[in-house]
Amino acid sequence: MPPFRRKKSGKSFPVKVCTLDAELEFNLEWKATGKDLFDLVCRTIGLRETWYFGLQYEDSKGFISWLKLDKKVQDQSLSPPSGSNGGCVFMFLAKFCAEDVAEELVQEVTQHLFFLQVKQAILSMDIYCPPEASVLLASYAVQAKYGDYDESISNKPGMLSSGDLLPQRVIDQYQMTPEMWEDRIRIWYADHRGMSRDEAEMEYLKIAQDLDMYGVNYFPIRNKKDTDLWLGVTAVGLNIYEKENKLAPRTTFTWSEIRNISFDEKKFVIKPMDKSSPNFIFFSQKLRMNKLILNLCVGNHDLFMWRRKPDSMEVQQMKQQAKEEKQRRQIERNKLAREKQLREAAERERNAMEQRLLQYQEEIRLANEALRHSEETADLLAEKSRAAEEEALILSHKASEAEQEVTRVRLNAMKTEEEKAYLERKTREAELLTQRLVEESEKRALESDQLKTELLKARIAEKQAKEKLLEFLSRNTLSSDSTNSLSQQQPACINDYALLLSDDINALDIDDSKSSSLKSSSLLFERDINSYEMLEDSEVEQLSLEIEKEREDYLEKSKHLQKQLKELRSEIEVLKVSEKQCSLDNVHAEQVRLGETKYSTLRKVKCGSTKARVAFFEEL
């Protein structure tokens, strides 16, 4: 129960408390103290690590102040009511920073409030952040806001608007479009898959705490030489900066070296532990500023000493509860991750099935087209088949006629063969007869010559040879008659033979013409068959086409963060607008060139005794 329960006779007033992600409205009793309001806010938001936070407000003179917890709210020079409820407005902010956020910030709500405040300080350029680190921090901020990278959502134009992710100084210093910044943020955003919101916010804080201006409250001061300097109040001590350089301190004093802090009017006196060392003295611009400096110094010193003591029972209990809560959330995350994996696997399987369905539909479409082509081809082939059948009928008719003709020719040929054999036989007989007649004629010619010779002799012996001569003459007359009959028969036989031979040749010519007709018909039919086979091959080739599968794209993760930052720095260096570089950019570039970091600079300025550092400060 709140310690300030409203009574019927008591008065109350409205107040409005704003955190960086919420607004709270309360009615406070008129006598309520700052602690009453602070505790009420902490209970409302569930915050137990209260020592880092405070309530900030604008006082009646327009200065920023922190609400004192031990005084009544109404007694602290509040500005006139300006809230929507007509009440006073307070900002619930982290007043002190942790040395190591990973070790000290226990509750998730504490981490979240720190994250929101540091992010706002970077975007409002209260904390200097290099361009490459700004992109990396933006990727963690996106992971904390949207969760795991989803290509279908995160690739939408304007989804990762650089306006609320990057400092305006960084955007103005480079000739890059918002889309170019989004692409670079998206590359690192995709690497953070599986990281929860609190883990992403913690990674953001781990990187942010390495920035030079993180956790530093700057106040303008002067030393005894009237040199304008900056005093930086931090969680580990006091830093002194030159007026144009808020990044690299010129000297530093840790809280363990400081024994006492006090101020008189605008003069601020810090007594070191080393009694041989002179006091550290500087001058502020306003008395009210000295009060704020002292308040921050006391609070940071107390936290510095408190961190170096064993944890109290409350802190131990808080850490144990936070550990158990983290384990419980981790178990839940693992369970959700398994369910997500199963869901993604089912989604992938569903997508694969849809792809297969689309593939099958495409194959069915191709098969239907192939079937349609096949049907058209079948119709064409059917017509060709009908034409071929008709042609085959004609050819078969012609073939039957040709067979009949061949049969007739064969019969004629058989008759011709018999006549030919008869003529050959007659010819051989005639040849033999002719040969004999020739021989006989020659013989008779020879005998005639002999007879002519002997005729003269025979006349003398005419009487004696008359009987023989008559006998010879009678025989010669008989031979002459037979020869004349044979010579008349021979030309007739030859003419008959020539006639038969001519008939055979004509018959063969007819046979050849029919044979050529058969061959031409056969070639025509064979050509039709070949064209069908070629068409059939093209259909098979069309149905054998395969669909290629899409390959899964994956993003290769970098092994070293600094290498990524260096690569990004080199990549955007060519797009830098030199005219828009500020003094802090030049200081940071020089630190990068020398290889200096926040911690190496602090180690260097800590060197030497306290006395020597005080003397160095006086000479600035």
For 234-289, write each residue's pLDDT tens digit.
999 999 999 989 999 999 999 999 999 998 888 889 999 888 888 888 998 888 88
Which part of the chain has CATH 2.30.29.30?
216-309+555-620
Tell me whether residue 553 is annotated as binding: no
Whole-number pLDDT of residue 510: 33
Q: pLDDT at residue 530 above 90?
A: no
Q: Which candidate, 142, 134, 58, places its Cα nearest to that of 93?
A: 58
Q: Is the pLDDT of residue 616 over 60?
A: yes
Which residues are paired to 57 by β-bridges?
Answer: 65
**Where do you find CATH 3.10.20.90 in the chain?**
12-95
Rg of the chain (C-alpha set): 63
What's the CA angle centered on 15, arms 9 and 18, to 5 degrees? 155
Which residues, other chains included, contact 235 with Cβ-Cβ below 8 Å and sequence gap of 6+?
96, 97, 98, 99, 215, 300, 303, 304
**Per DSSP, what are the bridge partners of residue 72?**
33
Q: How far apart are CA 611 and CA 620, in angstroms?
A: 15
70 known member of a binding site: yes
The model's pLDDT over 230-243, given as tens digits with 9 standing for 90+, comes to 999 999 999 999 99
Strand segments, DSSP code E, in 165-215 are none
10 DSSP assignment: S
Phi, psi of 431 (to 5 degrees): -65, -45
User: Is the pLDDT score of 140 beyond 60?
Assistant: yes
Neighbouring-strand partners of residue 27? 14
- The proportion of the chain whose per-residue pLDDT surpasses 70, expressed as a percent, equals 78
| Residue 402 structure tokens | 């040709």
SS3 state at 53? strand
- Interatomic CA distance for residues 539 and 370, integer angstroms: 7
**291: annotated binding-site residue?**
yes
- Among 3.40.50.720, 3.10.20.90, 3.30.70.270, 3.90.1150.10, name the CATH number for the domain at 12-95: 3.10.20.90
- Global pTM reads 0.65
Show the tokens assigned to 300: 């940071």
CATH code of 216-309+555-620, in short, is: 2.30.29.30
- Taking only the tens place, the pLDDT of each residue in 391-431 is 888 888 888 887 888 888 888 878 877 887 888 888 888 77
DSSP character at residue 546: -
Cα→Cα distances 152→53, 159, 162, 337, Å: 40, 11, 19, 20
Lookup: tokens for 423: 């003529």
DSSP state of 55: E
Asked whether the beta carbons of 610 and 253 are under 8 A apart, the reply is yes
Q: In angstroms, how far is the first alpha carbon of the chain from the final one?
A: 55
